[in-house]
Structure 1
Amino acid sequence: MVTRITHWIDGAPVEGTSGRTSPVYNPATGLVSAECYLATTAEVATAVAAAKEAAREWRSASLSRRSAVVFAFRELLHANADELAKIITSEHGKVLSDAHGEIARGLENVEFAAGVPQLLKGGFSEQAGTGVDVYSIRQPLGVVAGITPFNFPAMVPLWMAANAIACGNAFVLKPSEKDPSASLWLARKWQEAGLPDGVFNVVQGDKDAVDALLTHPDVEAVSFVGSTPIARYIYETGTANGKRVQALGGAKNHMMVLPDADIDLAADAAVSAAYGAAGERCMSISVAVAVGDAGDRLVDAIAARLPKLRIGDGADPDSEMGPLITEEHRDKVAGYIAAGAESGATVVVDGRAGDVPSDGFFLGTTLLDNVTRDMSVYTDEIFGPVLSVVRAQTYDDALELINSNQFANGTAIFTRDGGVARQFQFDVQVGMVGINVPIPVPVAYYSFGGWKDSLFGDTHMYGPEGINFYTRGKVVTSRWPDPATSAVDLGFPRTR
């Protein structure tokens, strides 16, 4: 009998009632491992109602209690990381080391949120006027929702939920229906940590569930990570319904390699950043921009490394790259390789001919050289193990290429010249910048987000901006009677 993956509402698993389900695959075998319920609008409303009721009490919980619950959750997450990693690998396909890396980055955000007593400190101005004090506080919104992608089924929910809950909100998670089991694991650990029932809820689903959250009057804010077309839809629909929205979209991350760069370092970084998690990361390097005579050396160095990359079942500790999430996505990525070849790119390494397992949704690594900006392999977000190399004559040419791209999530430069690196961070129009670092994901006490079509709205994810997103500012101006006269006025004896 196929396992049914449930919702989690008000502290308990809840069977779906829609009659609709979505298959969940093990990408390494291509076999269906479970069926995921798809929520109705009514089921979403039930989850939101539970969250609204729980939020009333949770917002009154002391900061020390909230911090203690988040820290207890952190301990459970740390102690049981192996169990969660296996769940992620079984449904996403990424290798166990990548799954552990995902958990580690999520854990950082939980640790940051555990410091909520410090994070919610306001300001105070005594005697702003005669006998008048003014101070600022931040208060929770109420019910907030997170709509998360398949590529990081644990990390991205932790980006959102840890801060939201620590700030005193109740949270409703709508995970990807492609790998939904991690969300239920997180729900159980929140409960074990002492979080009151209803503060963390999960509704499995598809667009029907998304639309129900975007239009529900009791949902105050929505956080989203996914593709640019969907991010735009989330932002426009959510804001039209009066909600705060932070919507992170797609990416086409460029890595500039200058002639003076350590080519071995750059090639190692390119392989890790382009092919890790089979390229299914919004911070993957998609384009290597080789400047001047760095091109031939870089392409040769990358090509020499790819045959050594072990591709196989993510559950195998020896595997270094796993399969893609679905058969349809694998075939779509393969189609981009064909289109690149047809449009004139040089296929240095062809993933379609790679030595990969015959079962499952595997595709080998692909390296394309002499890619130009009019090719679909350059313009589109492929989200697979394909690295394009674009040649540029000068630093200025390479910079113009990066700055003219519609996506501006992350970028990197590889050089030994500190002056050029500093100029790059000043010039480049991208939200996250790495200097000899290929995947510049900020640590948890900064915030994550791109520019241009990689972000809708003006608030980045997690860190200080995450705290602000999940709270509202309030300023209080107070005046009290003069203590020298108020005691007499109230009929009390004056004290000295």
Structure 2
Amino acid sequence: MSSELKYSNVKNYIDGAWVNSDTNRWLDVYSPLDGKIISQVALSSYEDLDAAVISAKNALKTWSKVPIKERVQIFFKYKTLLEANIAELSALVHEENGKTIDEARAEIEKSIELTEFACSLPQLVQGEVMEVSRGVECRTERVPVGVVASIVPFNFPSMVPNWTIPNALALGNTMIIKPSEVVPLSVTKIAELLKEAGLPKGVFNIVNGDREIVEAICDHPGIDAVSFVGSTKVAKLVYQRSTSHLKRCLALGGAKNHLLVLPDANPGMTASNVFASMSGCAGQRCMAASAMVAVGETDHIIKQLCEEAQKAVVGQHIGAVISKQAKERIERYITEAESQGASILVDGRSPVVKGKEEGYYVGPTIIDYATPDMAVTREEIFGPVLAIIRSKSLEDALKIENDNPYGNAASVFTQSGGAARYVAEHANAGMIGVNIGVPVPREPFSFGGWNESRFGVGDITGKSSIEFWTKLKKTTVKWNPEAGVNWMS
């Protein structure tokens, strides 16, 4: 463990204190920007997790009894601290994830919006009271689930943790979060800000690690609920393993989002939106467009799309991908599609970023005349690559979209209200866009897909998340004996 690294070794955060892991296993943390090691993170043991669960259980006794209007006061302060520290938080995301500084800042701005929504929860979770019979009253109230765990991915080191932290904690739960082991620095800063905001010790805990600690979270009897964001393969495993231990679980997986482009679409708006969708965050987001279905005569739009891609400067407008292995995997998809007869309109393989020659970069790549059976059109690439499939009709385009096993997002670009409505009604996805390349709902609307993109019930953010992070308690009361006895009492 070197003392010369830019960032100190990443510790666990348990019971309000930074503690060393019980393990001797360490992982180097690389910056995708230049391939240099910037820190090291411990790969924790079951004993580390157990200590965090004990801390969370102890904190739950008092935190769950604090009125929600008092709990959210901490998140008003946390929101202010996010705003005050946006430059440092953005720099951390930029350095450990590789996305551009503007994209990193946008991620923190979204974290601020998520926290702002959590501050509104007292107005959304009021119970109901009704006199259901003479002298008999029924009431409902939302109560915390208990100790919850949040397993988060590498692609949004700050935003995705803030999908779960503010809502789950404001609703009275205590949490253990497991950051991606390749981007552990942002969650460390989040813990510091939560502590500064006044969050009591034990309410929020960090346990770093890899697959071993994920499995331990799924198995641990002291954890009541698990949320997960990552690949579909792992989401399925987490969901199956957690629910087999009778936990509630919401596991979000991968995606293969289709953009349907019709001939009447506005060329400039369509080209810029499609390009932003396929290349933003270097394509490393589950809402990125990676398949475009060109319906009819759309060559004029495709030409303008290629011009947008050719203007982008890698390293300036397009950030790095997460690792050398990811870069190699993405470029294999491109090469394979080319060998199968697809046409490479814009080739982003092996770009050179001056001064960062060892960084992990892939330029925007546009592949035309791909077919639905190619890997580049079927599998999640997680890179700045767009495969174009040609279609003669809107019905054929929707069949291609519907045959996709995932179900996060689908968008249509058109000036026809009828066509837009038809796609919105028939696309097999949980989030639909019309002339929008990344149809992510804004708060209070919730984020969540369908099919192979989500396992479990409900969504992870917005008003729909209340159902996941709480249990509904029902109380029936009768005080007056003169009311007599009926079938209700």
Q: Normalising by structure 1, what TM-score?
A: 0.94
Structure 2, unmatched stretches of 5+, are 485-489
2:317 is aligned with 1:320: yes
Match status 1:185 vs 2:165: no
| TM-aligned CA deviation for residue 187 of structure 1 | 0.4
- Determine whether 1:377 maps to 2:376: yes
User: Counterpart in 1 of 2:167?
Assistant: 163
Unpaired segments ≥5 residues, structure 1:
313-318, 486-496
1:274, 1:286 within 8 Å by CA — same for their partners in 2?
Answer: yes
- In 1, the alpha carbon distance for the partners of 2:11 and 2:362 equals 31
Q: 1:278: which partner in 2?
A: 282
Residue in 2 that maps onto 1:110: 115
Conserved in 2, the CA contact under 8 Å of 1:356 and 1:364? no
Say whether the 8 Å CA contact 1:67–1:114 is kept in structure 2.
Answer: yes
Displacement of 1:434: 0.6
SS at match of 2:49: helix
Q: Following TM superposition, by how much is the alpha carbon of 1:30 offset from its aligned partner in structure 2, in angstroms?
A: 0.6
Report if aligned partners of 1:290, 1:298 keep a CA contact under 8 Å in 2. no
1: CA distance, partners of 2:228 / 2:293? 30
Q: Which residue of 1 aligns with 2:457?
A: 458
Q: Deviations over 1:99-141 (max 9, x none)?
A: 1111112221111111121122111112x11210111111001
Match of 2:487 in 1: none
Percent of residue pairs bearing the same amino acid type = 39
In the aligned structure 1, how far is the partner of 2:464 from the partner of 2:268? 36
Task: State the secondary structure of the residue aligned to 1:453.
Answer: helix
- Give the structure 2 partner of residue 290 of structure 1: 294
* Counterpart residue number, 1:309: 312
The residue number in structure 2 matching 1:7 is 12
Deviation of 1:482 (Å): 5.4
Q: What amino acid maps onto 1:375 in structure 2?
A: M
Are 2:24 and 1:19 aligned? yes
Shift of residue 457, structure 1, vs aligned partner: 1.1
Aligned equivalent of 2:346, options 323, 346, 349: 349
- Deviation of 1:353 after TM superposition, in Å, equals 4.8
Tell me if structure 2 keeps the 8 A contact 1:407–1:452: yes
1:62 to 42, 64, 67: 67
Contact residue 314 and residue 351 of structure 2 kept, 8 A: no
* In 2: Cα distance, 1:229 partner to 1:41 partner: 23
- Letter in structure 2 aligned against 1:310: V
**Structure 2: distance between partners of 1:353 and 1:100:** 27
Query: Which moves more between the two structures, 113-122 or 391-400?
Result: 113-122
Choose from 179, 194, 208 the match for 1:175. Answer: 179
Secondary structure of 1:217's partner? coil
Q: Partners in 2 of 1:228 and 1:190 — Cα distance?
A: 31
The answer as to whether partners of 1:299 and 1:369 remain within 8 angstroms in 2 is: no
Shift of 1:308: 1.2
Quick one: which amino acid aligns to residue 418 of structure 1?
G
Match of 2:84 among 79, 83, 101: 79
- Of 36, 43, 50 in structure 2, the residue corresponding to residue 45 of structure 1 is 50
Distance 1:450 1:218 in 2: 29
Letter in 2 for 1:371: A
Structure 1 stretches (4+) deviating beyond 6 angstroms? none
What is the identity, as a one-letter code, of the residue corresponding to 1:385?
Answer: P
* Deviation sequence 1:280-301 (CA, Å, 0-9, x none): 011000011110001x222211
Q: Deviations over 1:49-80 (max 9, x none)?
A: 10110111100111221110111111111111
Query: Which residue is 1:93 aligned to?
Result: 98
CA distance in 1: counterparts of 2:257 and 2:188, whole angstroms: 32
Residue 364 of structure 2 corresponds to which residue in structure 1?
365
Query: In structure 1, how many angstroms separate the alpha carbons of the residues matched to 2:483 and 2:19?
Result: 62
Q: 2:264 aligns with which of 255, 260, 267?
A: 260
In 1, are the aligned partners of 2:177 and 2:206 still within 8 Å (CA)? yes
1:440-462 C-alpha deviation (Å, 9 max, x unpaired):
11112111111110011122111
What is the CA distance between 1:355 and its match in structure 2? 4.8
The whole-number CA distance in structure 2 between the counterparts of 1:459 and 1:13 is 34
Question: How many residue pairs were aligned?
Answer: 477
Counterpart in the other structure of 1:445: 444
For 1:27 and 1:399, the matched residues in 2 are separated by 37
How far apart are 1:307 and its partner, in Å?
2.1
Secondary structure of 1:370's aligned partner:
strand
Contact kept in structure 1, 2:134 and 2:483, CA below 8 Å: no
The Cα shift of 1:426 comes to: 1.1
One-letter code of the match for 1:94?
A: K
Q: Cα deviation per residue 1:17-73 (whole Å; 9 max; x = unaligned)? A: 211011111111111111111110000110111011011110011122111011111
